[in-house]
Structure 1
Amino acid sequence: MALSLKPGATPQDEKPGRRKQAPLENAGERTLVSPLSLRRPSGRVIYWLVFALLLLSTLITLGPLYWMFSGALKSSSEIVQTPPTFWPVHPGWENYVNAWNVLNLPLYFINTLLLAGGAVLFQFLVSATAAYALSKLRPAGKNIIQFGFFCTLMVPPVVYLIPQFVNISSLPFIHVSLINNWSGVWLPEAANAFNILVLKSFFDSIPNELTEAARLDGANAWQLFTRIILPLSRPALAVVTIFTVIATWKDFLWPLLVLTEPDVQSLQLALYYAQVSNANMPFAYLIAGLALASIPPIVVFLLLQRQILRGISLTGLKG
């Protein structure tokens, strides 16, 4: 059979396995701004205007971080002076070491890490199992339950703050108080409607043929969850883990109400009570403590930014 060649083409161009390169215009259609738009003066003006606005927004966002890390190197009088100094006149690097020792930050770093780890564990035990039940077990009234979860997202957390505190002070039926207990922080965070809906949306994308085949092999519901659903849901679980750790790390109001003993407090509470109870403590120590407390979330974001950006796409919930 004779090969039909296009006009101007050679046999080498028609060889199987050799891909023709896409034109520049087609490649430009997959970018934010096409090369054709940049060839026009108006397109270049708009491009550089947007670039300048984004650069300015980035500098404005990084401004408070720079002030915090540089302010920790200043003396207390230099921090509050007007006009402020862009860089410390005499940088005091020892402020970070003194803040680490005076504020007893190692204890509160460990407390906060344990709080975050427990919150992640409870998320897997409660939110992940609830999402699995809604997605794969399909209980009666599934749509009503899911609609109830959506409704709770519309309610500001401050509205149910007092009822939640009353429940934690004396758990219904068993009348046990969780004040000054880390469980008082873990339990309210375990049933997170947002995480349940995100995981449920991801579980829906897993083919039912996999679970049906496992059922035919004799697997029960728990084995389906632990051996099939969870291993295939690592991207969604990573996103939920990151969001939970960051939310627990920066949480202040709820631990302020529940954790009153210094030995069980988180890092944010320790910095607050250190400033309130010790008026003679140099203000630079508090700024240094805040700077040290902000390093772990920044490192987590830099290391796991792909998963965080993937989480933005996972938040497109399906019914």
Structure 2
Amino acid sequence: MSSTRTLISPTQLASRRGRILYRTVLTLVVTTFTLVFLGPLYWMASNGLKSTEEFARIPPTTFPQALHPENYTSAWEVMDLSHLLLNTLWYAFGALAFQLVLDVAAAYSLSKLRPVFGKAILGMMLATLMIPATVLVVPQYLTVLDVPIFQRNLLNSPWVIWLPSVTNAFNIFLLKRFFDSVPQELLDASAIDGASQMRTLWSVVLPISRPILGVVSIFAVVGVWKDFLWPMLTLNDPTKQTLNVGIYSLASGVPENWLLAAIAMASVPTLLIFLIFQRNIMSGLTAGGLKG
């Protein structure tokens, strides 16, 4: 007899009535969740294709009566989305580079080098995950306004986005968890061959860490891409704003259907990242769960 517990027993599933009930419930659940998640995306994209008059109609139409793809072209040109997109890419991939270098170094040190008070340091890092992000906005803003020791104002510079993104305790924890699963025998063999710790990290550990590095990369890019509050506070120069902040700043000067078209276009890159790399995300999150 199988020891696996399921919502529906194999006996019930073997009967015709059980199969019909199971498939009906499954279809309803999947359809409901699909509508909940895809409904807002459809509403956003379809309203961007409506005329101004149809957009303002009450009750709203479910499907556009006439398609107006020129709304997307007009929003792209008037709101200068290409410039905002390049700004966001620059900030996102800069933050990614810093996270890959510094977070990997921190996680590897905590996992394999075993520094003094390493467990206490990791515990304090993880404790920061319990603090709401909005609570840290004021101290972070005062810090970048006048950086201690260096006495520099980082507002309206890429550093104001890059430096706060480096301190990502969740990514460090994910990386450390994966590094913990790397067999110590590999590191010992590398040390016997005369490789330094840096050489071991570069030539042995990182090549087998591609799944988790991919996950951290995706999280880093998406984290900067979707952030709104921090760039709005620290990037007041319109020529240096991110996509989200730029659209918000120009929202009052364009028709609402153009605004929704701009928001739809701004959502496409992150959706594509998820659709393309969803398997990598799942494999990376589960990597390192079992040692050996």
- Common fold, TM-score beyond 0.5? yes
Amino acid at match of 2:91: L
Structure-2 separation of matches of 1:170 and 1:286:
36
Identity %, equivalent residues: 42
Q: TM-score, normalised by structure 1?
A: 0.85
Q: Return the match for 2:267 from 279, 289, 294.
A: 294
The 1-side partners of 2:146 and 2:258 are apart by 38
Tell me, yes or no, if structure 1 residue 182 matches structure 2 residue 140: no
Cα deviation code 1:223-255 (max 9, x no counterpart): 122111111100000011111111111110111
Cα displacement string for residues 43-71 of structure 1 (whole angstroms, at most 9, x for unaligned residues): 64244213312211111211111111110
Matched, 1:139 2:115: yes
1:239-254 maps to which residues of 2 (within 5 A)? 239-254=215-230
Q: Answer whether contact 1:111 1:267 (CA < 8 A) is retained.
A: yes
Bigger-Rg structure (1/2): 1
Higher relative contact order (CA 8 A, sep 6+): 2
1:51-62 mapped onto 2 (5 Å cutoff): 51-62=27-38
Structure showing the higher helix proportion among its residues: 2
- Runs of 4+ in structure 1 deviating by more than 6 angstroms, as ranges, are 29-34, 315-318
Residue 146 (structure 1) shift:
1.1
CA distance in structure 2 between the partners assigned to 1:120 and 1:31 by the alignment: 41
> 1:34, 1:190 → 2: CA distance?
49
Instruction: Give the match for residue 155 of structure 1.
Output: 131
Q: For residues 149 and 37 of structure 1, what CA distance do their matches in structure 2 show?
A: 49
1:39 aligns to what?
A: 14
Is 2:247 aligned against 1:271?
yes
The question of whether the paired residues in 2 share the 8 Å contact of 1:271 and 1:290 is answered with yes
User: With structure 2 as the length reference, what TM-score do the two structures score?
Assistant: 0.92
In structure 2, how many angstroms separate the alpha carbons of the residues matched to 1:120 and 1:142?
25
Asked whether 1:282 is paired with 2:250, we answer: no
- How far 1:317 sits from its partner (Å)? 11
Rate the CA distance shift 1:194–1:220 in 2: closer, same or farther, 3 A.
Answer: same
Which amino acid counterpart does residue 43 of structure 2 have in structure 1? W
Q: Does 1:200 align with 2:173?
A: no
Q: Match for residue 116 of structure 1? A: 92
For residue 314 of structure 1, report the CA deviation from its aligned partner: 4.9
Alpha-carbon distance between aligned partners in 2 of 1:30 and 1:100, rounded to the nearest angstrom: 53
Q: Deviations over 1:126-177 (max 9, x none)?
A: 1111000000110001110111111111111111111111111111111111
Question: 1:221-260 counterparts in 2 under 5 A?
Answer: 221-260=197-236
**Equivalent residue letter for 2:70:** E
**Structure 1 residues 40-49 or 150-159, which shifts more?**
40-49
Provide the residue aligned with 2:276 in structure 1. Answer: 303
Q: CA shift at 1:310, angstroms? A: 2.3
Unaligned runs of 5+ in 1: 1-24
Q: Which runs of 5+ in 2 are unaligned?
A: none
Q: How many residues align?
A: 289
Q: Is the CA contact 2:181–2:290 (under 8 Å) kept in the aligned structure 1?
A: no
Structure 1 segment 31-110 matched on structure 2, within 5 A: 36-40=11-15, 41-42=17-18, 44-110=20-86
CA RMSD after TM alignment? 2.3
Local SS of the residue matching 2:134: coil
Asked if structure 2 preserves the Cα contact closer than 8 Å seen for 1:201 and 1:317, the reply is no
